[in-house]
Structure 1
Amino acid sequence: MENEKTGFFSKILKSITDFKMYPLIIKESVGRAIGYLVLLSLIIGLLGCIKPIYLTNKVIDMAVKTFESEIPYFNLSNGELTVEDEMPMVFEQGSQIIIIDTTNQIDKGILNDYYQGFILYKNSMINKQGPQYQEIKYTDLGNLEFDRDSIKAFMPKLKYIIIPIIIVFVILGAVLGKLFSSLIVSILGLIVNAISKGNLKYDGIYKIGIYSLTLPSIIKLVIKQIPIRIPFFGMMFFFAYYAIIIIYIYKAIIEVKTESL
């Protein structure tokens, strides 16, 4: 009954600091333990959205400023592209190239030297992907019309499209990832239980494993927000992550054994 009255945030704290809680965890249902894991994952997922949302805002704001300062006025209307700048305009990087030529003087054969490329002519565009060429006339795009000003006005609105997608994928990834981790951890728990002669059933080990994920999951969340990059840190943290879990499972099993004596 004591465990049933324990609130969610108290469980987070006690699962990290109080091993006497683990004998109580054994007595609760698997569904209740999974509910704890899902709620923990949702919170971690929400907090994990902070950095990618910040970076998305920053990148889009920088893109808008670059667009304003470097892109000349252009207009696509009635199937014709006009650009107020000297022709041709060439943007090249590695095996990719984009050419804007409203004078139609550049031959598409120039794309042969690139794996991927575009040529924007006055009335059509050429798209090259590998060995494949595709020509699209602007009139084939229907009544599509836009200019520099309309694109500039639309760019900040990308935040309202990209950010919700980020939130959904990060939270969904956190929940599914933790559920999968709980299965991996339960296998580690079976090994630890056998070595320590804990005599716990699988459902008890699974529940202990779920709560043992709390501290390493919080540490992982904090580390992800830090912009510092250390060589081989990911590999080192992987081992540290599961080492913490194994220690918690072991101490929890010992606590359960001690209480049952």
Structure 2
Amino acid sequence: MKEDKINIFNSYIKSIFDFNSYNFFHEKSLGRAFLYLFFLTILLGGLSIIRPMYNFNTMLDKFTTNYEKSTPEFNFKDGILDVSSDEPLIYGDPQMSYIVVDTSGKTTSTILNEYAAGMLVTKDHLYQKDILGNIKAIPLSTFKVLSFNKDSVEKELPNLKLINILLIIYYPIRFFIGYLLNALILSLIALSLKGFIRPKTTFKDFYKLSIYALTLSTTFNLIITSIDRSVPTITTYLDLIFYGVGLLYILKALTVIKLNEK
């Protein structure tokens, strides 16, 4: 394939496997590099959504199942909470905080002294203790306009999957902004080595080439972070690998560009 026929779509393959193509990328505008980044955002940014969506939906399904099986019948109306169960109910993690529910009136906020942080819910108050030991009381009458029970909450849980729409919007935007910042960091690293590799190359050239040079690093990073069980040795040095590979591509690209100028 001739260099003048390298389009946005096959630039992905060329930027990874064909170093000679970097001479073509160097001659093209920064605007074309941004267009390529937009293409990557659709391709890789779209793929980056899969794992978060899977994790979220799995978590929500597990929560819904546990809610159906473990949550006692309750009713909240006119600022009063009523729970049909033996109380107090205690939920939590010793490493984090506890939630204590007791609408019988037998438990007071002093129970929070047993925990580093936590929350007590009574029939008409919510007591919250922070990690500094401060306890704040919030009357449930504050929420008296609300009315719900176990069944009504259960019916609404599937609607939480609408959060997937936010994920579809959020992750490509995060990918695009993150890529811009990573390209900036890589171009600054390359610029610091300017005296050793290519004195005439401008920062704009470095930034433009960095967008293409990070293709393999970004693809590799996406694969590793998408694996359910990450590889500890790799993830520990992921940033070093990410920028190291990108810098190698920059150096090789500059070598190719020099040869074509002679």
Q: One fold, TM greater than 0.5?
A: yes
Instruction: Decide whether aligned partners of structure 1 residues 106 and 201 sit closer, same or farther in structure 2, where only a CA change above 3 A counts.
Output: closer
Q: Helix, strand or coil for the counterpart of 2:237?
A: helix
- The 3 A distance-change label for structure 1 pair 189 and 125 is closer
Following superposition, the deviation at residue 200 of structure 1 comes to: 2.7
Letter in 1 for 2:111: I
Matched with 1:167 is 168
Find the aligned partners of 1:153 and 1:201 in 2 and give their Cα distance: 59
Confirm or deny: 8 A CA contact 1:183 1:206 kept in the other structure: yes
Amino acid at match of 1:187: L
Partner of 1:66: 66
Superposition deviation, residue 177 in structure 1: 1.0
Shift of 1:222: 1.3
Alignment map for 1:92-107 (pairs within 5 Å): 92-94=92-94, 96-107=97-108
- Using the alignment, how far apart are the partners of 2:103 and 2:200 within structure 1? 78
Could you tell which deviates more after superposition, 205-214 or 173-182?
205-214
- The residue type paired with residue 15 of structure 1 is S
- 8 Å contact from structure 2 (residues 124, 139) kept in 1: yes
- CA-to-partner distance for each residue in 1:10-66, whole Å, 9 max, x for gaps? 111111122221122122111211221233134222110100000100000000000
Contact persistence 2:118–2:128 (CA under 8 A): yes
Counterpart of 1:56?
56
Identity %: 28
Q: Find the counterpart in structure 2 of residue 132 from structure 1.
A: 134
Question: 1:42·1:175 contact (CA, 8 Å) conserved in 2?
Answer: no
CA contact (8 A) 2:97 2:116 kept: yes
Aligned to 1:13: 13
Matches of 2:207 and 2:99 in 1, distance apart? 55
Counterpart in the other structure of 1:118: 119
What's the C-alpha RMSD, in Å, of the aligned pairs? 2.1
Aligned equivalents of 2:238 and 2:109: distance in 1?
Answer: 51
Label 1:120 to 1:7 Cα distance change in 2 as closer, same or farther (>3 A): same
Say if 2:8 and 2:36, in contact at 8 Å, map to a contact too. Answer: yes
Structure 1 residues 167-176 or 183-192, which shifts more? 183-192
1:222 equivalent to 2:223? Answer yes
1:246 is the counterpart of 2:252: no
Does the 8 A contact of 1:19 with 1:251 survive in 2? Answer: yes
Structure 1 segments, 4+ long, off by >6 Å, are none
Q: What is the TM-score normalised by the length of structure 1?
A: 0.89
Judge conservation of contact 2:77–2:144 (CA < 8 Å) in 1: no
Q: Which residue of 1 aligns with 2:150?
A: 148
TM-score scaled by length of structure 2: 0.89
Deviations 1:222-256 (A, max 9, x none): 11111233334223332222222222112211111
Deviation at 1:192, TM superposition (A): 4.9
- Any stretches of 5+ residues in structure 2 without a counterpart? none
Q: Is this contact kept in 1: 2:74–2:84, CA < 8 A?
A: yes
Within the alignment, does 1:75 sit opposite 2:66 as a pair?
A: no
**Aligned with 2:10: secondary structure?**
helix
CA distance 1:239–1:107, shift in 2 (3 Å): closer
CA contact (8 A) 1:198 1:254 kept: no
Q: In structure 1, list runs of 5 or more residues that go unmatched.
A: none
Q: Which residue of 1 aligns with 2:88?
A: 88
- Asked whether the 8 Å contact 2:8–2:35 carries over to 1, the reply is no
Q: Distance in 1 between matches of 2:3 and 2:143?
A: 63
The structural deviation recorded for 1:4 is: 6.2
> What displacement does 1:180 show?
0.9
Secondary structure in 2 matching 1:9: coil
User: Which whole-Å CA distance do the structure 1 matches of 2:145 and 2:200 have between them?
Assistant: 72
2:101 and 2:226 mapped to 1: Cα distance? 40
Paired residues, what number? 259
